[in-house]
Amino acid sequence: MRVSRMLAVVAIGAGVAALLRTPRGRRIAREITDNAAHWRDIWTDTASDKLSQVKDTLSREVNGLSNDARQRINRILEEGEEAATDLKKKVVKASNHHQGN
């Protein structure tokens, strides 16, 4: 890394550190964290809800599918729900870990 780039990175880091030490900087950091948590909840809850809706629709309203096709689609949707749930758990854990630091 060139010396000028290294100095630029150090200067930016020092500026960010100085900003975060001020009350306004701490407030901005808190707002960013709160907004990230809000959007995290919306995205993960929405994914799980949509998969549940599709699964319900498939089980009640779609005619003409063989039982085998219905079961395969249902299995895919269940795996999607599990993946969304796992993702939400990981995001919540990472968020809680980050907020604790």
Confidence of residue 89 (pLDDT cuts 50, 70, 90): confident
78-91 average pLDDT score:
79
Helices (H), the chain: 3-21, 23-60, 67-100
69-90 average pLDDT score:
80
Structure tokens at 73: 């689609």
Confidence of residue 100 (pLDDT cuts 50, 70, 90): low
DSSP for 42-70, written as a single string = HHHHHHHHHHHHHHHHHHHT--S--HHHH
List, for residues 36-60, the tens digit of each pLDDT value: 777 777 766 676 777 777 777 777 7
Using left for φ > 0, alpha for ψ between -120 and 50, and beta otherwise, residue 51 falls in alpha
3-state secondary structure of 2: coil
Residues counted in the chain: 101
